């Protein structure tokens, strides 16, 4: 009995103790519950928003660009981007701090995000860091529940597999700037953070085709920005796929060949259709460097380089054509009746206009020249004479028929019109010296003076000389998706075929014994070319330099003052298919520097038989032959 009472008392006491403990614990739990639900309710409510529907613009994939055989020239690669949406996080600073502990983020980027968050509406997503590695993506994803407002987007960024080789042709893409947004205020896709649009080259010219149409997704979003389900989706439409007339294998060859010089450009096209097979400008840059915003040092280097790597010299480089212009003077003379097949002009090595003496490059003179020989040997005097007889306006008129002096409408933003002067032009241009002087005629007649041409224009000019009188226009895009881009039929030029034949024959002789470029003839007979050398002065030769004779050479001058070297050519000369124009900036002599390049590329294009590679729309890229 006693024992029982004893244990009863003990039990009661102890039971009470335990009960008290349980009461305390229950209260603690209730208190904690109250704490979570009342005191911290604000915090958790933000984290657990009721079904938020977020509108998200889905960026369309930019259209791919292929060469004529289907090789990919501009495509895309994956880019993982870390985004933060301030609206989903009460305060982004601790979130950013957490991010810093997880992956490497530049302090400047953090500051940028903070600034941006203050400026933009809180529902916009701000880029924190992109081009995340797979490891960084994993680390972030695993921690996402504690990173409110954070999300990882998989984007695609523009990728140029060939880099500098196609840099000027394709151009590059970059972030949209203020003015561009204003100009195209309608398109919502521009509001997608860091959307890229074409800035130069084909990317810009064909922006509306390549961009595609933005899609839209309505997403139910919850804690920490975790996207739970899509309520609605309108798919984006991929941009048009372009198939170009460019042949990447040829382009590779041309670019490599040019890279042996310090600054050069070349273009090669079809004489009958005008399609451009290759167009390269050297030095170039890597357009991939521009996609995400170019690094400032690189930008400065590119800008300060005297070889002007950022310039598309094929479309936008304007040079005095030098002797490559002589065919125009010849055609003008033939059309005007001043020249006939048999007419000769005597070249003593100089020519007088009034009292002023103009020199022929061959100090001793060429003797009697007919038009074919004058072209073959590039006699200046012959053309001085003819030009004086027909006048600048006639020359200008003829040149314009061959495409000089105006743009072709390629839409390439870098395309320049060149300049073909005439009297009307001079009046407007030099109000203080309106009259056209006879001396100016002869200088312009040999491609110096005011005349400016681009390599593209020179190639077109050459094509029009040898294709039987068709005013072809250059073009690059063969297909937009499946649709062939039809080139309009070239209208016939109003010039006589026999005149064209004479000039062509002269050009064939340029590369034969006696001609100025004989050293550069293509070995294989079936592929042999015709053409014309050109040397355009950058700095006039002074009298003292002339007097110094052979001891003065262009090599004495600093590089940027040396003559440019040019060459225009066509092949095969029997029935021409291809026309090319080459310029080697400050290359001194057309025959020395430019002709060998033209020889090599005209030979290569025939060897590859590029014209036979018909472009067809391709949906999958073809393996590049290495």
Partner 1 sequence: MIMLRSENQLFYKLSQMNWVQVGFIWLVAIVGFLAMYSAGGGSFSPWAERQIPRFIFAFFIMLAVAVVDIKIWHRLAYPFYGVCILMLVAVDVFGHIGMGAQRWLNLGIIRIQPSELMKIALVLALARYFHGGSVENWKHIRYLLIPIGMIGLPFLLVAVQPDLGTGGMLLMSGVAMFFLAGVPLWMFLVSGGAALAALPVAWSMLHDYQKQRVLTFMNPESDPLGAGYHIIQSKIALGSGGIFGKGFLEGTQSRLNFLPEKQTDFVFTMWTEETGLLGGAALLFFFGGVIFSGLWMALRTRTPFAQMLIYGLVVNFSLYALINVAMVMGLIPVVGIPLPLISYGGTAMLALMVGFGLVQSAYIHRDTKLPRS
| Positions that interact with partner 1 (CB under 8 A) | 3-4, 6-8, 10-12, 14-19, 22-23, 25-26, 29-30, 32-34, 36-38, 40-41, 43-45, 47-48, 50-51, 142-146, 220, 222-223, 226, 228
Please tell me the distance from the alpha carbon of residue 72 to that of residue 65, in angstroms, as a whole number: 6
The number of helix segments (H) and strand segments (E) in the chain equals 23, 21
**Least Cβ distance, residue 114 to partner 1 (angstroms):** 23
Nearer to partner 1, 50 or 182 (CB): 50
| Closest CB to partner 1 among residues 87, 194 | 87
Q: Is 138 a catalytic residue?
A: no
Which of 125, 248, 323, 388 is an active site residue?
323
Closest separation in Å from C-beta 180 to partner 1 = 40
DSSP summary character for residue 49: -
C-alpha 228/C-alpha 221 separation (Å) is: 6
Q: What phi and psi values does residue 137 have, to the nearest 5 degrees?
A: -60, -45
Q: Which residues contact 291 (CB under 8 A, 6 or more apart)?
A: 157, 158, 159, 172, 173, 174, 196
Q: Which of 234, 85, 96, 238 is nearest to 153 (CA)?
A: 85
Q: Closer to partner 1 at the Cβ: 15 or 526?
A: 15
Least separation in angstroms between CB 99 and partner 1: 13
C-alpha to C-alpha distance for 490 and 314, rounded to whole angstroms: 22
CB nearer to partner 1: give 148 or 403. Answer: 148
CB of 52 to partner 1, least distance (A): 10
What single-letter DSSP state applies at residue 347? E
Please tell me the distance from the alpha carbon of residue 383 to that of residue 576, in angstroms, as a whole number. 26
Give the shortest CB-226-to-partner 1 separation in angstroms.
Answer: 8
Q: Where are the beta strands (DSSP E) in 160-207?
A: 173-175, 196-198
540, burial (CB in 10 Å: exposed 0-12, middle 13-18, buried 19+): exposed
| The residue to which tokens 């600073």 are assigned | 93
In the bound state with partner 1, the residue whose beta carbon lies nearer, of 118 and 229, is: 229
Nearer to partner 1, 56 or 313 (CB): 56
Query: Which C-beta is closer to partner 1: that of 51 or that of 304?
Result: 51
Q: Which of 229, 614 has the CB closer to partner 1? A: 229
- Measured from the CB atom, the residue of 10 and 298 that comes closer to partner 1 is 10
326-336 and 380-390 are packed helices; what angle lies between their axes, rounded to 10 degrees? 40
d(CA 393, CA 395): 5
Distance of CA 230 to the CA centre of its chain: 39
Sequence-ordered list of residues with C-beta below 8 angstroms from that of 169, at least 6 positions apart, any chain: 73, 201, 202, 246, 251, 279, 280, 312, 476
We find the least distance from the C-beta atom of residue 608 to partner 1, in angstroms, to be 56
| Gap between the Cα atoms of 358 and 263, Å rounded | 30
Least distance to partner 1, CB of residue 31, Å: 10
- Strand 196-198 to 173-175 pairing: antiparallel
CA atoms within 13 A on the CB side of 255: 23
Instruction: Indicate the residue among 14 and 356 with the shorter CB distance to partner 1.
Output: 14
CA angle 231, 234, 236 (to 5 degrees): 135
Encoded tokens for 12: 């009661």
How near is the Cβ of 232 to partner 1 at its closest, in Å? 17
Task: List phi, psi (to 5°) of 564.
Answer: -80, 150
Buried b (16+ CB within 10 A) or exposed e, 243-278: bbbbbbbbbbbbbebbeebbbbbbbbbbbbbbbbbb
Q: Which tokens belong to 42?
A: 């604000």
Catalytic site residues? 323
């Amino acid at each position: 009995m006693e024992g029982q009472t004893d244990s009863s008392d003990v039990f009661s006491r102890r039971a009470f103790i335990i009960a008290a403990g349980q009461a305390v614990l229950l209260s603690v739990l209730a208190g904690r519950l109250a704490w979570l639900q009342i005191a911290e309710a604000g915090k958790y409510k933000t984290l657990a928003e009721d079904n938020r529907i977020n509108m998200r613009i889905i960026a369309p994939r930019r259209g791919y660009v292929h060469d004529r055989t289907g090789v990919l020239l501009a495509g895309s690669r994956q880019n993982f981007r870390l985004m933060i949406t301030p609206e989903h996080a009460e305060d982004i600073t601790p979130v950013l701090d957490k991010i810093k502990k997880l992956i490497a983020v530049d302090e400047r980027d953090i500051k940028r995000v903070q600034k941006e968050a203050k400026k933009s509406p809180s529902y916009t997503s701000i880029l924190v860091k992109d081009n995340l590695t797979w490891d960084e993506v994993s680390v972030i994803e695993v921690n996402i529940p504690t990173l409110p407002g954070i999300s990882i987007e998989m984007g695609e960024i523009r990728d140029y597999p060939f880099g500098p080789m196609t840099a000027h042709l394709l151009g590059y893409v970059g972030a949209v700037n203020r003015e561009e947004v204003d100009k195209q205020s309608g398109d919502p896709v521009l509001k997608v953070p860091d959307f890229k649009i074409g800035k130069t080259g084909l990317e810009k010219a064909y922006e509306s085709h390549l961009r595609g149409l933005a899609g839209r997704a309505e997403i139910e979003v919850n804690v920490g920005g975790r996207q739970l389900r899509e309520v609605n989706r309108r798919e984006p439409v991929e941009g048009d796929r372009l198939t170009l007339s460019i042949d990447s294998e040829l382009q590779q060859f041309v670019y490599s060949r040019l890279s042996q010089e310090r600054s050069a450009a070349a273009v090669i096209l079809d004489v009958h259709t005008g399609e451009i097979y290759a167009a390269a400008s050297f030095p170039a840059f890597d357009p991939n460097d521009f996609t995400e915003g170019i690094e400032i040092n690189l930008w400065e280097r590119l800008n300060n380089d005297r070889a002007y790597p950022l310039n598309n010299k094929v479309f936008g480089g304007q040079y005095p054509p030098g002797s490559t212009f002589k065919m125009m003077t010849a055609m003008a003379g033939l059309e005007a009746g001043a020249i006939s097949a048999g007419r000769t002009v005597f070249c003593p090595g100089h020519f007088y206009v009034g009292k002023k003496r103009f020199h022929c490059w061959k100090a001793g003179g060429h003797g009697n020249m007919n038009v074919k020989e004058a072209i073959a040997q590039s006699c200046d005097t012959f053309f001085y004479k003819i030009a004086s007889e027909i006048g600048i306006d006639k020359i200008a008129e003829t040149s314009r028929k061959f495409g000089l002096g105006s743009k072709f409408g390629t839409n390439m933003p870098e395309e320049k019109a060149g300049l073909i002067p005439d009297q009307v032009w001079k009046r407007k241009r030099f109000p203080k010296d309106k009259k056209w002087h006879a001396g100016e005629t002869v200088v312009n007649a040999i491609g110096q003076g005011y005349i400016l041409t681009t390599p593209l224009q020179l190639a077109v000019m050459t094509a029009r000389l040898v294709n039987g009188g068709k005013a072809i226009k250059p073009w690059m895009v063969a297909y937009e998706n499946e649709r062939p881009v039809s080139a309009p039929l070239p209208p016939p030029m109003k010039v006589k075929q026999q005149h064209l034949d004479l000039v062509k024959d002269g050009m064939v002789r340029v590369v034969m014994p006696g001609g100025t470029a004989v050293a550069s003839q293509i070995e294989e007979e079936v592929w042999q070319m015709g053409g014309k050398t050109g040397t355009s002065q950058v700095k006039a030769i002074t009298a003292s330099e002339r007097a110094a004779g052979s001891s003065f050479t262009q090599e004495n001058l600093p590089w940027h003052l040396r003559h440019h070297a040019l060459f225009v050519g066509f092949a095969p000369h029997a029935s021409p298919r291809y026309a090319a124009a080459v310029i080697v900036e400050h290359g001194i002599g057309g025959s020395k520097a430019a002709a060998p390049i033209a020889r090599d590329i005209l030979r290569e294009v025939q060897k590859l038989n590029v014209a036979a590679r018909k472009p067809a729309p391709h949906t999958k890229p073809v393996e590049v032959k290495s």
